[in-house]
Amino acid sequence: MIADTLKTPVETLPELTPEVLKRFDVSGPRYTSYPTADRFVEAFGEDDYLQAIEQRNMGGLALPLSLYVHIPFCESLCFYCACNKIVTKHHERAAEYLRYLTREVDLHVSKLGQGQTVSQLHLGGGTPTFFSDDELEELMAMLRRNFKLDPSGEYSIEIDPRTVTEERLARIATMGFNRLSFGVQDFDHEVQKAVHRIQPAEQVFDLVAASRRLGFQSINVDLIYGLPMQTAESFQRTLKQVASLHPDRIALYAYAHLPERFKPQRRINDYELPTAGDKLSMLSNAIAAFLGNGYVYVGMDHFALPEDSLAIAKRQGRLHRNFQGYSTQPDCDQISLGVSAIGRIGPTYSQNAKTIEEYYDMLDHGRLPVVRGLPLTRDDLVRRAVIMALMCQGRVQYESINLAYLIDFKEYFEAELKSLEDLERDGLVEIDASGIQVTGLGWYFVRAVAMVFDRYLQADRNRARFSRII
């Protein structure tokens, strides 16, 4: 029996009518950080990053770290992809990349010190399983030599089902990974053809079953709605298959068609994309299906079974967000390794070089490959606290913000509270003398609530670069 210490903002399906969905179908950030990465500046470089590390070291007893490793290689191109990736069948490139990751870790450790505790590790991409098992083992051994991996930590890796077998999963388990995320997107064959990603459902079912036998603590499945050739009916079939698969977690993302920004998407025919009405039906049907099969809506497109640690953290008010999304681990600094990786040290954000040539060149010259970032102002920190409270707990307590940042919330955010009145009338929030509560309905549109407190977004109103909320 799991004891709930905090009432979840939503446990049952609210009234998600097509009219409600359409009204809040606007563009906005995902708030894996605030300020968002599009606000990073090139004036922030390696020296600023090293200063942030020095300030962390001066803090005395440092909190555990989160590590992210970006592996950009993919054997084939998925047309919907907006990630930083390198499409190649030359697997020898992985060995070279691993050597440069080792150099980057060495540079970090020379500044951070040996043996810093790590409570969370995530390998993303690209396709992390582009690395051979020997290369993955070498990577993990290198990280263990330089960091102390907490035995109770969360260690996850993204899996392309086309690149692994049960035998590979068994080796991945022996490396210390305890969580897997399978990229499924859609089980429909016509949709898979349209996005250039063929993977039979039977293959995914077999791998998930093998993962359970091998004892992985949590298995996530990624789905995307709004892809070419999808219909409400075809996606309903995929939802039934996912229900049968019964993963611990489900991430349901809306496809953002931005061919002017992401070259691979130019191979998608606009006329094959579902209508706005079909897309809304897919979302509504998916939410109903997941809740009907016992999943808890964690927030921001994420669902989890009640006994999963993410759902438990949600109930207990322990959710956090970082550049990989929701996390159960305490808020901590994140060291991000590899091309284009985004990290956080103290009140700063940073991003590595986006091209592998520049990434290699900077490391060849003995420099950390940080090319842009952002030092957070006091106002940024206050607003980040409010936005993350909304995104993670669904509630902001005025008093906690007042005490932490020595402000008068109602005075500081007078204009924002006025703007929230419209969302209160729409039933997305409830405002009282002590704080702001996101309602069951509002939890599905929490990005719209958070956007009210985004000073940068309110200033320029240029939201075309963001994905739509639904």
Q: Nearest 5°: phi and psi at 221? A: -125, 130
Q: At what angle do helices 92-112 and 356-364 cross, to 10 degrees?
A: 50
Query: How many DSSP H helices and E strands does the chain contain?
Result: 17, 19
Tell which wins on pLDDT, 387 or 63.
387
Query: Binning pLDDT at 50, 70 and 90, where does residue 382 land?
Result: very high
Q: Nearest 5°: phi and psi at 287? A: -60, -45
Pairing of strands 86-87, 73-74: parallel
Query: Binning pLDDT at 50, 70 and 90, where does residue 317 land?
Result: confident
- Cα–Cα distances in Å, from 66 out to 156, 211, 220, 375? 12, 24, 19, 19
Specify whether the CB–CB gap between 71 and 427 falls below 8 A.
no
3-class SS of residue 165: coil
Looking at the DSSP bridge assignments, the partners of residue 336 are 68
Say whether pLDDT at 414 is over 50. yes
Say whether pLDDT at 463 is over 60. no
Instruction: Please give the Cα distance from 139 to 146 (Å, whole number).
Output: 11
Domain 38-334 class? alpha beta
Q: At what angle do helices 92-112 and 133-146 cross, to 10 degrees?
A: 10
Distance of alpha carbon 398 from its chain centroid, rounded? 27
Q: Nearest 5°: phi and psi at 311? A: -65, -40
In the DSSP assignment, the letter for residue 63 is: P
User: Above pLDDT 70, what percent of the chain?
Assistant: 93
Which residue, among 231, 295, 389, has the nearest Cα to 398 in the 3D structure? 389
Say whether pLDDT at 6 is over 60. no
Hey, what are 462's tokens? 């240029």
Instruction: Please give the Cα distance from 125 to 127 (Å, whole number).
Output: 5
Say whether pLDDT at 313 is over 60. yes
At residue 258, the pLDDT reads: 86
Section 406-410 average pLDDT:
97
At residue 15, the pLDDT reads: 66
Q: What is the mean pLDDT of the chain?
A: 90
Specify whether the CB–CB gap between 415 and 422 falls below 8 A.
no
Q: For residue range 218-259, what is the model confidence (pLDDT) as tens digits?
A: 999 999 999 999 999 999 999 999 999 999 999 999 898 889
Count of C-beta atoms within a 10 Å radius of residue 164: 21
Tell which wins on pLDDT, 431 or 10.
431
Helix locations, 126-267, DSSP H = 133-146, 166-174, 189-194, 201-213, 232-245
Section 261-282 average pLDDT:
90
Distance of alpha carbon 51 from its chain centroid, rounded? 27
Say whether pLDDT at 123 is over 90. yes
| Burial bucket for residue 43 (CB in 10 Å: 0-12, 13-18, 19+) | exposed
My answer on whether omega of the bond before 35 falls inside 30° of 0, hence cis, is yes
At residue 57, the pLDDT reads: 87
Least confident of 67-76, 198-207, 325-334: 325-334
Give me the residue spans of the domains in the chain.
Answer: 1-35+378-470, 38-334
Query: Which H or E run includes 345?
Result: strand 342-345
Q: For residue range 14-35, what is the model confidence (pLDDT) as tens digits?
A: 666 667 777 777 777 888 889 9
Say whether pLDDT at 290 is over 90. yes
Query: Binning pLDDT at 50, 70 and 90, where does residue 3 land?
Result: very low
Say whether pLDDT at 4 is over 60. no
At residue 461, the pLDDT reads: 55
CATH placement of domain 1-35+378-470 = 1.10.10.920
Which residue, among 97, 93, 145, has the nearest Cα to 123 in the 3D structure? 97
Instruction: Please give the Cα distance from 67 to 119 (Å, whole number).
Output: 8
Say whether pLDDT at 12 is over 60. no
Strand locations in 78-139 (E): 86-87, 116-125
